[in-house]
């Protein structure tokens, strides 16, 4: 499927979600967000504001239930699509807290994921060549790729493993949930450069972060501020710089958002 | 009675007569016997199927390392050089009158195997034995006696297959592992769907002897393996690693007994099952560390992954420590559904539910499957498990 230049890659309309097992816990309160191919959107917001919930909901996590509104991707309503189908359609989430899969190597997982995505097994030679190239670009060793997925990984290693998968799977919509947290300064640059080289005119990025630093490498076209389950402000890079400089309070005061409303 | 049996030495005839008497007098175990609590054999008729004239028709040596003694038990008992050894060990760990199924084996085996790794010899090639009931519906009574001489080293692989019609296997193994000998036995079992297997393995380990048991259970209707390991020598070491992958109404029952009777002995049990359909797994394990077994280590672990709502597992690891000087003892048991977070993580990479499950189960079992020494066997097991999960019932 080719995407029309003007149409959205991801279009979120009035999205409200709650926790599936606890329907009384409402998290997102009516999100609107539109990402076009090639765009980078940064999403910032205080702890507990709903950033990961939004990321996981786009990826199709059964932990959250959509109560209202919808998510469409490449002009298709995916609000109720299973997570695996979304992934095969090109959505990738770099988890804030990646899950350990003991006994399964990263290599094995990536190979299965490529097989699932393309519907065919790549040849071992082609796969290894591609893996080596990606590992090299991300300054990671082959030994690292042979470790069990996130099993005993340090915080930074988990983030690197997510980016390795991103690099191998080449999604069209990449959601990076605090991929920068936990990375050392050099790793942050390598990861950011890795993401930048992956970018092509069709790829959209939703970049969730608490810090301006990563945005200096992956410059956002738009910055959104999520507070209490609502996007309360949107702007350009300057908005991120402002938050970095003075925190959320002045902005919230300016917008007449009480501390109570800011709470979930 | 076959011709060979009539020519058995007197002591053996006597042993088997007592076994026959036990069969006549005793009944099959019932659920009130703890080892049989969850595995009902009360209605089993061990004579309902044809018996083979000789087990040789179903048990085959696939490959045997050069210079290893592997012979029929009766034949060996007639060999003046071996008779003493046979007499001292056959029936030593498995008395003729202990219980019905053991007595059935003791009374009915026809040929049996005597395996005798020589002192100080490290056999690099494994001894590979195949139990093949793929052509007939029958009951067999495999009997194996192994005397591993001091400082010997041997790997044994016993693979089993059978037809989809009924088959019954009642097996007994007696192992004497002498000083510093190393013995490894792998049971690779891929029975047909209507085979019932009851296997008892008993072993006695001398100083610094080591025994490794790996069991892979994939096929069968009811499969019960019981291992009783007596760590009688100081520094003796035993490891039991078991895997079962169940579907439909399959029933797997593992029982292990580790008796630490000497200082610095160590034992490790790890049984993992993945259960689809309405299949069921049972684990009952006792690790006893006696007062003499100072400085010993013991670990017992049983993990059960339920892949379908009607699958079921019962787990009961028991640790009895009678000395206050143990270096490390632990046990753990879990029964639970597939990790939902792991499933979502894998599905978020594009794997469908079944593929995600295959990967999770593969990873879950890998500490045991990867531990198999025979790399080709490990590959076969991975592929078989994969195939089984591809079609297993998940709801
Ligand atoms: N499964 C859940 N059960 C109960 N509450 C939940 C669940 N998931 C999220 N929440 C709650 O929803 C709110 C939003 O959580 P979320 O993880 O989306 O925040 P976040 O913006 O990503 O925060 P952070 O910056 O700390 O990562 C929090 O108050 C959190 O406790
Ligand atoms: Mg978060």
Interface of B with A in 351-380 (CB under 8 A): 351-353, 355-356, 359-360, 362-367
Please tell me the pTM assigned to this model.
0.92
Nearest by Cα to B103 from B170, B42, B34, B10 = B170
Q: State in Å: Cα A264 to ligand 1 middle.
A: 9
Chain CA centroid to CA B252, Å: 11
Partners of A98 on chain B (C-beta within 8 Å) are 345
Nearest by Cα to B124 from B180, B178, B182, B177 = B182
Nearest by Cα to B99 from B53, B30, B39, B52 = B30
Given a cut of 50, the residues of chain B with pLDDT beneath it are 1-6
Question: How confident is the model at residue A122, as a pLDDT?
Answer: 86
Question: How confident is the model at residue B2, as a pLDDT?
Answer: 43
- pLDDT tens across A28-78, in order? 999 999 999 999 999 999 999 999 999 999 999 999 999 999 999 999 999
Ligand number nearest CA of A48 is 1
Question: How confident is the model at residue A5, as a pLDDT?
Answer: 52
Tell me if chain A has a CB within 8 Å of the CB of B342: yes
Question: Token digits for B316?
Answer: 């009961």
Question: Token digits for A232?
Answer: 């309360």
To which residue do tokens 């061990």 refer? B46
Cα distance between residue A134 and residue A128, in whole Å = 10
Q: State in Å: Cα A69 to ligand 1 middle.
A: 20
Tell me if chain A has a CB within 8 Å of the CB of B344: yes
Q: State in Å: Cα A175 to ligand 2 middle.
A: 12
Question: How confident is the model at residue A6, as a pLDDT?
Answer: 63
Neighbours of B355 (CB within 10 A): 20
Q: How far is B255 from chain A (nearest CA, A)?
A: 25
Tell me if chain A has a CB within 8 Å of the CB of B343: no
Question: How confident is the model at residue A262, as a pLDDT?
Answer: 72
SS3 content of chain A, % helix, strand, coil (to 5): 40, 30, 35
Question: Token digits for A231?
Answer: 């996007």
Cβ–Cβ pairs < 8 A, chains A and B: 77
Q: State in Å: Cα A36 to ligand 2 middle.
A: 23
Chain CA centroid to CA B393, Å: 26
Give the residue whose CA is nearest to atom 30 of ligand 1. Answer: A48
Backbone angles phi, psi at A102, to 5 degrees: -60, 140
Question: Token digits for A109?
Answer: 């997982």
The secondary structure of B239-276 as a DSSP string is: EEEEEEEE-TT-EEEEEEEEEE-STT-EEEEEEEEEE-
The closest CB to that of A103, out of B344, B353, B366, belongs to: B366
Cα distance between residue B305 and residue A143, in whole Å = 29
Backbone angles phi, psi at B306, to 5 degrees: -95, 115
Cα distance between residue B240 and residue B246, in whole Å = 19
Ligand 1 near A66 CB (within 6 A): no
Tell me if chain B has a CB within 8 Å of the CB of A175: no
B315-322 contact pairs (CB < 8 A, 24+): B315/B282, B315/B283, B316/B283, B316/B284, B316/B285, B317/B269, B317/B283, B317/B285, B317/B287, B318/B284, B318/B285, B318/B286, B318/B287, B319/B287, B319/B289, B320/B286, B320/B287, B320/B288, B320/B289, B321/B289, B322/B288, B322/B289, B322/B290, B322/B291
Cα distance between residue B299 and residue A28, in whole Å = 47
Backbone angles phi, psi at B3, to 5 degrees: -60, -40
Which residue does chain A place closest to B345, by CA atoms?
A99
Nearest by Cα to A142 from A158, A126, A156, A130 = A130
DSSP B143: E
Nearest by Cα to B242 from B282, B207, B204, B202 = B282
Given a cut of 70, the residues of chain A with pLDDT beneath it are 1-6, 263-264
Nearest by Cα to B215 from B171, B178, B180, B167 = B171
Interface of A with B in 127-156 (CB under 8 A): 148
Contacts of B88 (CB under 8 A, 6+ apart): none
What is the predicted ipTM?
0.96
Catalogue the E-assigned strands of B53-194: 59-63, 69-71, 113-116, 127-133, 139-140, 143-148, 153-162, 167-177, 182-190
Question: How confident is the model at residue B4, as a pLDDT?
Answer: 46
All structural domains of chain A: 1-32+59-81 (no CATH), 90-219 (3.40.50.300), 222-264 (no CATH)
- pLDDT tens across B351-395, in order? 999 999 999 999 999 999 998 999 999 999 999 999 999 999 998
Cα distance between residue B119 and residue B375, in whole Å = 27
The closest CB to that of A165, out of B349, B352, B366, belongs to: B349
Nearest by Cα to B195 from B218, B223, B171 = B223
Contacts of B20 (CB under 8 A, 6+ apart): B103, B107
Cβ <8 Å between B345 and A103: no
Backbone angles phi, psi at A50, to 5 degrees: 115, 10
Rg of chain B (C-alpha set): 21
Rg of chain A (C-alpha set): 18
Ligand 1 near A141 CB (within 6 A): no
Q: How far is B67 from chain A (nearest CA, A)?
A: 39
Q: Is the distance from CB of B195 to CB of B162 less than 8 angstroms?
A: yes
Ligand number nearest CA of A45 is 1
Q: In Å, how far are A105, B45, B353 from A102, measured between CA atoms?
A: 8, 43, 18
């Amino acid at each position: 499927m080719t995407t029309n230049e003007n149409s959205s890659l991801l279009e979120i309309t009035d999205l409200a979600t709650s926790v599936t097992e606890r329907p009384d816990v409402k998290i997102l309160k009516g999100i609107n967000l539109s990402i076009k191919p090639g765009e980078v959107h940064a999403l910032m917001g205080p702890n507990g504001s709903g950033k990961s919930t939004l990321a996981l909901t786009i990826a199709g996590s059964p932990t959250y239930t959509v109560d209202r509104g919808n998510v469409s991707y490449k002009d298709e309503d995916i609000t109720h699509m299973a997570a695996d189908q979304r992934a095969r359609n090109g959505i990738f989430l770099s988890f804030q807290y990646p899950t350990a899969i003991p006994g399964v190597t990263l290599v094995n997982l990536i190979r299965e994921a490529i097989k699932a995505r393309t519907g065919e097994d790549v040849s071992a030679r082609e796969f290894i060549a591609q893996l080596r190239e990606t590992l090299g670009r991300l300054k990671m060793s082959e030994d690292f790729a042979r470790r069990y997925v996130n099993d005993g990984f340090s915080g930074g290693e988990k983030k690197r493993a997510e980016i390795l998968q991103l690099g191998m799977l080449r999604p069209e919509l990449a959601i990076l949930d605090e991929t920068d947290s936990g990375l050392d300064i050099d790793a942050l640059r390598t990861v950011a450069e890795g993401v930048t080289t992956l970018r092509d005119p069709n790829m959209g990025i939703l970049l969730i972060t608490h810090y301006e630093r990563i945005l200096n490498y992956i410059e956002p076209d738009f910055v959104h501020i999520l507070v209490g389950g609502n996007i309360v402000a949107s702007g350009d890079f300057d908005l991120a710089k402002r938050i970095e400089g003075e925190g959320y309070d002045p902005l919230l005061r300016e917008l007449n958002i009480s501390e109570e409303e800011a709470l979930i | 009675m076959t011709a060979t049996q009539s020519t058995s030495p007197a002591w053996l005839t006597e042993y088997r007569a007592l076994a026959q008497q036990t069969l006549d007098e005793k009944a099959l175990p019932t659920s009130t016997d703890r080892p049989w609590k969850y595995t009902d054999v009360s209605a089993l008729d061990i004579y309902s199927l044809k018996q083979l004239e000789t087990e040789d028709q179903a048990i085959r040596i696939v490959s045997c390392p050069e210079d290893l003694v592997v012979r029929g038990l009766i034949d060996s008992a007639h060999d003046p050089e071996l008779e003493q050894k046979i007499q001292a060990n056959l029936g030593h760990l498995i008395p003729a009158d202990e219980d019905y199924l053991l007595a059935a084996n003791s009374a009915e085996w026809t040929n049996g195997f005597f395996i005798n790794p020589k002192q100080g010899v490290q056999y690099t090639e494994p001894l590979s034995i195949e139990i093949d009931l793929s052509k007939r519906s029958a009951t067999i009574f495999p009997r194996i006696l192994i005397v591993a001489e001091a400082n010997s080293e041997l790997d044994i692989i016993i693979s089993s297959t059978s037809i989809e019609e009924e088959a019954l296997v009642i097996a007994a193994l007696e192992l004497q592992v002498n000083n510093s000998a190393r013995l490894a036995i792998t049971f690779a079992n891929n029975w047909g769907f209507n085979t019932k297997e009851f296997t008892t393995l008993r072993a006695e380990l001398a100083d610094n002897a080591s025994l490794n048991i790996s069991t892979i259970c994939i096929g069968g209707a009811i499969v019960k393996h019981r291992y009783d390991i007596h760590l009688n020598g100081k520094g003796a070491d035993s490891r039991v690693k078991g895997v079962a992958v169940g579907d439909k109404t399959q029933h797997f029952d593992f029982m292990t007994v580790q008796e630490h009777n000497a200082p610095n002995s160590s034992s490790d049990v790890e049984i993992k099952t993945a259960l689809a359909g309405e299949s069921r797994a049972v684990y009952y394990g006792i690790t006893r560390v006696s007062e003499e077994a100072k400085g010993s280590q013991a670990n017992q672990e049983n993990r059960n992954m339920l892949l379908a709502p009607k699958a079921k597992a019962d787990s009961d690891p028991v640790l009895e420590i009678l000395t206050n000087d143990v270096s490390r003892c632990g046990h753990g048991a879990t029964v639970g559904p597939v990790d939902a977070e792991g499933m979502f993580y894998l599905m978020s990479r594009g794997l469908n539910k079944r593929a995600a499950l295959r990967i999770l189960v593969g990873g879950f079992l890998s500490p045991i499957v990867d531990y198999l020494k025979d790399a080709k066997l490990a590959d076969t097991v991975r592929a078989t498990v994969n195939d089984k999960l591809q079609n297993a019932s998940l709801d």
